[in-house]
């Protein structure tokens, strides 16, 4: 039987949750179908991932699009805002390709314009890693609320206009073009369906590795673990409000970790959010942003507990990575997080969105863990394999591709 040919499009092959999740899925799918990857920005040394365009198209025109988009969004840096209104030429390449299906992942940063998507002749599958495709220019509705709270009247009028303009373009696109949307979380699938946009729930996955590589440079962390509890918090940018960066900062400022004999590993870009000299005296170990997944996996494995205080999220990679190595997670009982954690078995779901509730969650679960450490480890691993195992997820996508081709 002829193999299905899929063209996978993502802005980048690494950096950011959506890029990481899509690259993991592609590696697994390549074992079973014919899949080509095209990215705009390439960071990984993988010859199977192709960069879009020649030097002029990729280096010069990409920067022109990026600068133009920055100008249109008034150089906003604290919130992710995406327009997708500038033509990249990628649509033409897709139409000329021999692929049966094009699968879009993270396509912002002007990867392709909405008008170009409208002109694609191939069947389209689009994985929504956030709420952007059902909103205007923002990736989460909470970002819009936080952003509008911080800007003045004139700026608010301007951003309100472009937000409505982009939302109207998406509505027109969806009304006349069949795009199959997949969402990693059940919560986001239901959210799209409430907006009368059909979305199929297919989670992300990780290619399971049984052996965890050791890193001798972190031996000192095992010594700290003998003295107290070792906790870990991971975020691309530590001061991101939606990811709970402010809550973690409050706990550090109040000496919560030091008072309870906890040691917190902080991983992510600091951007002057913390005074590094000050936090060293508060049982905080800052390790900056870590790109190596094996290294990250080891740090998650040696930790007693992973902290995930995000206000809203889809199906977070960090929680999945933690469960895969057997480390439980504390998070709020909301959105995609509550689908990933079995309360008191693979972690703790805090009922109220507050600092106090999160503190209580950490303390309570560490007490539960004292009595059932091996059982909790097994629970985490089993839950991951049952719900997010690579064989399960790849079968779901291959079934979807076949169905899409049959209907087209």
Q: How far is CA 223 from CA 220, 226, 229, in A?
A: 5, 5, 11
In contact, 323 and 297? CB cutoff 8 Å? no
pLDDT in tens, 34-59: 999 999 999 888 999 999 988 788 88
Residue 353 lies in a domain: yes
pLDDT in tens, 166-179: 999 999 999 989 99
Lowest mean pLDDT among 4-18, 43-57, 308-322, 348-362: 43-57
pLDDT score of 217 more than 70:
yes
pLDDT in tens, 139-158: 999 999 999 999 999 999 99
Distance CA 191, CA 199 (A): 9
On whether both 356 and 318 belong to a single domain, the answer is yes
Distance CA 333, CA 339 (A): 9
On whether both 230 and 173 belong to a single domain, the answer is no
Residue 250 lies in a domain: yes
Instruction: Pull the structure tokens for residue 187.
Output: 């919560």
What percent of the chain has pLDDT above 70? 100
pLDDT score of 79 more than 80:
yes
pLDDT in tens, 100-114: 999 999 999 999 999
Residue 293 lies in a domain: yes
Q: State the Cα angle at 94 between 92 and 97, rounded to 5°.
A: 110
pLDDT score of 130 more than 70:
yes
On whether both 175 and 105 belong to a single domain, the answer is yes
φ, ψ of residue 183 to 5 degrees: the values are -130, 135
pLDDT score of 7 more than 70:
yes
On whether both 267 and 188 belong to a single domain, the answer is no
pLDDT score of 1 more than 70:
no
On whether both 304 and 242 belong to a single domain, the answer is yes
Distance CA 136, CA 160 (A): 9
In contact, 322 and 234? CB cutoff 8 Å? no
Residue 315 lies in a domain: yes
Write down the pLDDT at residue 56: 80
DSSP-based three-state secondary structure for 362: helix
Q: Which domain holds residue 226?
A: 216-388
Three-state SS string across 282-315, please?
CCEEECCCCCCHHHHHHHHHHCCEEEECCCCCCC
Mean pLDDT of 398-404: 97
Write down the pLDDT at residue 276: 80
On whether both 138 and 244 belong to a single domain, the answer is no
Write down the pLDDT at residue 274: 84
Write down the pLDDT at residue 92: 96
Residue 211 lies in a domain: no
Domain count, the chain: 2
Lowest mean pLDDT among 58-62, 236-240, 254-258, 270-274: 270-274
Residue 175 lies in a domain: yes
On whether both 16 and 106 belong to a single domain, the answer is yes
Residue 302 lies in a domain: yes
On whether both 105 and 234 belong to a single domain, the answer is no
pLDDT in tens, 186-211: 999 999 999 999 899 999 999 887 78
H/E stretch holding 150 reads: helix 141-150
| Mean pLDDT estimate for the chain | 94
On whether both 50 and 196 belong to a single domain, the answer is yes
On whether both 395 and 369 belong to a single domain, the answer is no
Looking up residue 144, the CATH number of its domain turns out to be 3.40.50.2000
On whether both 251 and 369 belong to a single domain, the answer is yes
On whether both 249 and 319 belong to a single domain, the answer is yes
pLDDT score of 2 more than 80:
no
Query: CB within 8 A of 3, min separation 6: which ones?
Result: 33, 34
DSSP 156-225: HHHHHHHHHHHHHHHHHHHHHS-EEEEESSHHHHHHHHHTT--EEE--------SS----GGGHHHHHHH
Q: How far is CA 117 from CA 9, 121, 124, 380, in A?
A: 12, 9, 9, 40
Residue 101 lies in a domain: yes
């Amino acid at each position: 039987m002829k193999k299905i040919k899929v063209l996978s499009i993502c802005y980048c092959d690494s950096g950011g949750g959506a890029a990481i999740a899509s690259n993991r899925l592609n590696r697994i799918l390549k074992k079973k179908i014919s899949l080509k990857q095209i990215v705009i920005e390439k960071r990984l040394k993988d010859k199977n991932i192709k960069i879009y365009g020649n030097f002029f198209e990729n280096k010069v025109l990409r920067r022109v699009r990026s600068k133009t988009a920055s100008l249109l969004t008034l150089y906003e840096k604290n919130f992710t805002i995406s327009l997708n209104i500038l033509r990249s030429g990628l649509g033409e390449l897709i139409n000329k390709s021999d692929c049966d299906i094009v699968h879009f992942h993270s396509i912002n940063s002007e990867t392709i314009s909405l008008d170009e998507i409208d002109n694609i002749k191939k069947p389209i599958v689009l994985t929504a890693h956030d709420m952007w495709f059902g909103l205007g220019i923002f990736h989460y509705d909470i970002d819009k609320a936080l952003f509008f709270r911080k800007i003045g009247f004139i700026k608010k009028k301007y951003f309100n206009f472009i937000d409505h303009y982009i939302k109207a373009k998406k509505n027109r696109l969806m009304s006349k073009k069949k795009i199959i949307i997949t969402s990693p979380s059940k919560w986001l699938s239901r959210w799209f369906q409430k907006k009368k946009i059909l979305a199929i729930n297919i989670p992300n996955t990780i290619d399971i590795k049984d052996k965890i590589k050791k890193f001798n440079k972190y031996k000192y962390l095992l010594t700290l673990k003998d003295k107290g509890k070792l906790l870990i918090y991971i975020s691309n940018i530590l001061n991101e409000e939606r990811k709970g960066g402010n809550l973690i900062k409050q706990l550090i400022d109040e000496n919560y970790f030091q008072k309870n004999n906890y040691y917190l590993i902080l991983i992510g870009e600091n951007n002057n959010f913390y005074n590094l000299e000050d936090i060293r005296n508060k049982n905080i170990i800052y390790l900056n942003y870590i790109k190596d997944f094996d290294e990250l996996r080891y740090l998650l494995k040696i930790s007693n507990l992973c902290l995930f205080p995000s206000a809203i999220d889809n199906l977070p990679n960090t929680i999945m990575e933690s469960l895969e190595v057997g480390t439980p997670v504390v998070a709020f009982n909301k959105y995609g997080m509550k689908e990933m954690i079995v309360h008191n078995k693979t972690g703790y779901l805090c009922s109220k969105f507050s600092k106090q509730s999160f503190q209580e969650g950490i303390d309570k679960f560490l007490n539960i863990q004292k009595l059932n450490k091996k059982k909790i480890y097994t629970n985490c691993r089993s839950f991951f394999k049952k719900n997010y195992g690579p064989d399960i997820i790849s079968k779901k996508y291959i079934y979807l591709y076949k169905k899409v081709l049959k209907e087209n």
